Amino acid sequence: MLSSTRELLETARRHIYAIGAFNIYNLEGVRAVVSAAEAVQSPAMLQIHPSSLKYGGSPLVSLCLEAARSATVPISVHLDHSTSAEAIRFALEAGMNSIMADGSHLPYAENLSFTREMTQLAHRYGAVVEAEIGRISGTEDGLSVAEKEAKMTDPVQAGEFVRATQVDALAVTIGNVHGEYRSEPRLDFDRLIRIGETVGKDMLLVLHGASGLPAAMISRSIQLGVCKFNVNTEVRQAYMHTLQSDICNARKADLLPCMEQSIAAMQQVVIEKMQLFGSGNKAHLHQTPYAQMLTNTVR
Ligand code: 13P
């Protein structure tokens, strides 16, 4: 069932687990996430990056929305990392449940005004808004400790930022990176505690770069209020690995078995993540289908 992002995240936080938001590119990715969610009775988010949105356009959004509607477990559809007002408007018009207004590449004051403007827009559609301060890197290799810390979310600024912008969710940078962790991941949990205190108990906390994070870090983050993890790299790697395997490359290889095998490979990774996030067997806690919530205009 198509569900509200707010309901998914608030329920997860209340019951101390987290929702996996999985980046998808096409039908195979959507099938992998939805079938994983159904297999372990977990809620989930289908997440589209702006470059995938550019590639797939309305058909990709419709695919996600329709897959969510016909799923037997709660699913919402989210726009990831959008730096463009145009893409955000497109996503909202198309009926996506939530957006990330990403002004983290901008100087602080510009990030604040972009985020505030996008939040006002998204709230008119009843959509949930995620934003970021601090800057999540592709990799931290070659950075000094001081440089790493400078990119992390400043707790005092975080409090000021969420009050000024009225966002619903905040993606924190506490040592998490996108892509592979080239060295042992280190998350600054003291910083996360201070962020939690300054942004207030209603703020939904998000951690990007969940690929490669060990179980203990995932569960500590959840204990400290993180209720959404973004996952891309590990699922994408499972897909690409299958594309290089015999089932896709043997002389008589055919497309459908190759795609089915890719779905199975991605599904396995997604299930593992759902179990790590504690969202397996939690679908029953999210009872309200999105259609019923429309009266409250909450996406
Ligand atoms: P990973 O690719 O590291 O899993 O991160 C995904 C992400 O944070 C997308 O916003």
**How far lies 152's CA from each of 6, 104, 132, 233, 250, in Å?**
25, 11, 10, 21, 47
Specify the DSSP element, H or E, that contains 219: helix 215-223
Q: Does residue 179 contact residue 155 with C-beta atoms inside 8 Å?
A: no
> What are the tokens at 132?
């970021």
Specify the DSSP element, H or E, that contains 170: strand 169-172
80 catalytic? Reply is yes
Cβ 77 under 6 angstroms from ligand 1:
no
The predicted structure's pLDDT at residue 245? 97
Q: Provide the CA 26 distance to its chain's centre, in angstroms.
A: 16
Q: Does residue 234 contact residue 212 with C-beta atoms inside 8 Å?
A: yes
Q: What is the pLDDT of residues 258-278, one digit of tens each?
A: 999 999 999 999 999 999 999
Distance 277 CA to ligand 1 centre (A): 15
Q: What is the pLDDT of residues 168-187, one digit of tens each?
A: 999 999 999 999 888 899 99
Listed by start position, the domains of the chain span 5-285
The pTM (predicted TM-score) of the whole model is 0.94
Q: Over range 116-131, report the average pLDDT.
A: 98
Cβ 191 under 6 angstroms from ligand 1:
no
- CATH 3.20.20.70 for the 5-285 domain, yes or no: yes
23-49 per-residue burial string, b: 16 or more CB within 10 A, e: under 16: bbbebbbbbbbbbbbbebebbbbbbbb
Q: What is the pLDDT of residues 37-90, one digit of tens each?
A: 999 999 999 999 999 999 999 999 999 999 999 999 999 999 999 999 999 999
